Amino acid sequence: MTKRIVFISLFFTLLFNCTVTEQPKFLGIENIKVVNSNIESITFKAEALFTNPNDVGGVLKAEDLKVYVNNTEVATVVSDEFKVPSKENFTIPLIVAVASDSIIDKKNLGSLLGSLISQKLKVQYKGEIKYKVLGYSSTYTVDKTQDIKIKL
């Protein structure tokens, strides 16, 4: 009987001493860049920045996060679940490979020619990242646009 009371007391002490009152804070999207390009595809990478003030981690996953190039939807970010570290600042890589021919279409041809002349592409990440911990979930809205220099 005393072991059970000690165990229950220990459980509640640990439960109430752990910080789980806040969800991790989404600080934004940074460092959107081209990491690889060839005739067949262009690979973009961005970093989602977070800080977790809690003693408990959880998981984050990009869901329905779209990538637009020159205002044309070209891809959806597919990611595995990312384990959130406790009491830390951290980044999640958002990598997507885009088929080169998906950027070149008739309605986007004018902006593509303008991009080639200026050597810049307008890249936008837009959608949601979901956070889950202990049966609780929340969603972060992502909407970041950045002009990316391209090398010819």
What does the alpha-carbon distance between residue 152 and residue 45 come to, in Å, rounded to a whole number?
19
What is the extent of the structural domain holding 60? Answer: 21-149
**pLDDT tens digit sequence for 46-95:** 999 999 888 888 899 988 899 998 888 888 888 888 898 888 899 999 99
Pairing status of strand 136-149 against strand 120-133: antiparallel
Structure tokens at 10: 């220990």
Digit-coded pLDDT (tens) for 113-144: 444 444 678 889 999 999 888 778 889 999 99
CATH number (domain holding residue 72): 2.60.40.10
User: Does residue 75 belong to any structural domain of this protein?
Assistant: yes
This prediction has a pTM of 0.74
* Structural domain total, the chain: 1
Pairing of strands 88-99, 82-83: unpaired
